[in-house]
């Protein structure tokens, strides 16, 4: 319950107040730092190979649904990873993914 003038009441999740686990102390703030925080680093692997035309007609796109190797489904599909049946067919760090329809092999 809010008891002071100008206080705002907000809902809280169940907690351990007034139980044997409650420690009566003032909240602490993390120490102030004069150093800026580092920007997060994002490492997105570049595609290692481009899709290669295989249908020989020079332009018609063909939808492909074959399982492909990659560290993620997106990577396997976007880089047209090696066609596979199981993850044993893939390189270390890769898995055999059932991919969304794509134009690999067109």
- The string of pLDDT tens digits covering residues 1-54 is 566 777 766 655 555 555 555 555 555 555 666 666 666 666 666 666 655 555
- Give the integer Cα–Cα distance in Å for 77 and 61: 15
Where do we find the tokens 């249908």?
A: 55
Residue 69 DSSP one-character state: E
Please list the residues that pair with 102 across neighbouring strands. 64
- Give the integer Cα–Cα distance in Å for 79 and 32: 45
Q: What pLDDT is recorded for position 98?
A: 92
């Amino acid at each position: 319950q809010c008891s002071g003038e100008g206080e705002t009441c907000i809902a809280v999740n169940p907690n351990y107040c007034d139980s044997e686990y409650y420690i009566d102390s003032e909240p602490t703030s993390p120490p102030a730092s004069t150093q800026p925080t580092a920007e997060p680093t994002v490492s997105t692997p570049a595609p290692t190979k481009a899709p290669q035309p295989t249908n020989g007609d020079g332009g018609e796109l063909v939808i492909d649904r074959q399982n492909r190797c990659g560290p993620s489904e997106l990577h396997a599909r976007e880089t047209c990873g090696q066609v596979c049946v199981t993850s044993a067919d893939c390189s270390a760090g890769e898995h055999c993914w059932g991919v969304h329809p794509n134009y690999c092999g067109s």
